[in-house]
Amino acid sequence: MRNIGIAAKTSSPAALEYAAGVARDLRKRGFDVCFDDVTAAAMGKDAGHCVSRAALGSESELLITFGGDGTLLSVARHAPQNVPILGVNMGTLGFLTEIRLEEFPGLLDHVLDGHFTVEPRVTFVASVTGPERDDQQYRVLNDVAINKSALARIIEMKVSVAGLFVSNFRGDGLIVCTPTGSTAYNLSAGGPIVYPTMNAMVLTPICPHMISNRPLVLPDELDIAISIITPAEEQEIYVTLDGQEGMPISENDQVCIRKSNESILLIQSPDKNYFDVLRTKLKWGEG
């Protein structure tokens, strides 16, 4: 493990400064360090070698992110499945970035020596098909969300699972999430928390018109297809991937989601487990 990629939250001076210091130390120890171009631009002339954030994983044998869950997501969505990711939290504890700053130096030494534990996380492949689409596929670690614009009326969507018709859903939208993403947008929309290594996917309506439309937990080997019924001229509808990339869609398009063959490897903290993170983030047992 000689090539290390680093990304930092560019709106956080503390994250940028700490990342720059870690890079200097690693280079002194003989490691090759590469930043993503967004981080490098925020750091200035001392950043050194850099590539696009999408290409950072292919240039690295280890990825380190400094910031929050959003920073990790932006790197993890493009990372090869054999490259472990060490997410260091630079603010409040994240569901993905569970490594605290004070435990990072010691854990990094163990990682560089090859003594660490990873947890594989399922990813999805999403595509938007239609007469004006190029059949591009997108990889997501958290979720695929279909939303109406702020001023739009209720939208109607047809959902099929493994080719079988499920229902037409009317409401503000739909979320399809991985177990990892169950604690993100899905949780805010009233969806269930799913243990991150389960072989499952969750379909959660957003503010459904019918209260009987409830979240569904499905086996992750089943494909989901979502078609828009509401005419495009009536309102704007968008599909968003991991909350970071999106596009408008119409009744001519279909959103297809399936389990990817590639997983993401997240390096685990030796000092906490998933339930520790849940208790801290959700304040279980307080008050």
Q: Which of 25, 32, 46, 69 is catalytic?
A: 69
- How many Cα atoms occupy the beta-carbon half-sphere of 191 within 13 Å? 31
What are the beta bridge partners of residue 11? none
Note whether 246 and 240 are within 8 A (CB). Answer: yes
Decide: helix, strand or coil at residue 247: strand
DSSP 191: P
Beta strand 237-241 with 245-249: parallel, antiparallel or unpaired? Answer: antiparallel
Active site residue 143: no
What are the tokens at 151? Answer: 């001023």
Note whether 22 and 5 are within 8 A (CB). Answer: no
What are the beta bridge partners of residue 120? 265
Note whether 34 and 3 are within 8 A (CB). Answer: yes
Catalytic residues: 69
